[in-house]
Amino acid sequence: MIGMMGSGKTSTARELGVLLKMPVIDLDAELENYTAMSVTEIFKKKGEPWFRERETTALVSHKADRATIFATGGGVVLSRQNREWMRAAGSVVFLETSLETIWKRVSKEADGRPLLKDMNPKRKLMSILTTRLPLYVECAHIQVNTDGKSPKEVAHEILKLIKPA
């Protein structure tokens, strides 16, 4: 599952895991466990390039020997290696979410997003979305819009697309 921060990847992956009876791995959570730091702390103490390297290592270290749903971090598509690995390893689902919806969700978070620590976080978010949108589209096999939908509704929509009745 790929998409911007706040697009609901983790919650939708969990719902889809229940529907498909498949294990779910959240790559950010895996990195947090591995480093014993939050993503925000990793960015602050180690920097973004370090985080991106670990993100790729975490992603590609998973063997495609067991059907698993992966919730990735929003920036996973920045690396060509990650995009190619994901497309070859399985079905890539892009959770497409409008700038307004993402902003509504992330601006409420107390901890804040490391990448939005900016004088104008909404403008920064728009710039990130503009850069990444073509990468999400290029990488995805399936695209689902999530605006105004619950993770459960999105998971059912994905299920219909991957397993048509």
Binding site for ligand S3P (CB under 6 A): 5, 9, 28, 39, 73-75, 113-115
Q: Nearest distance from residue 5's CB to ligand S3P, in Å?
A: 3
Taking CA 148 as the corner, what is the angle to CA 147 and CA 149, rounded to the nearest 5 degrees? 90
Residue that is written with structure tokens 């107390």 in the block: 110
Q: Alpha-carbon distance 111 to 152, whole Å?
A: 25
Q: Nearest distance from residue 165's CB to ligand S3P, in Å?
A: 31
Token pair for 29: 């959570």
Closest chain position to ligand S3P (CB): 73
10/157 with CB nearer ligand S3P = 10
115/142 with CB nearer ligand S3P = 115
Q: Nearest distance from residue 28's CB to ligand S3P, in Å?
A: 5
Query: Which are the contacts of 88, defined by CB distance < 8 A and separation ≥ 6?
Result: none
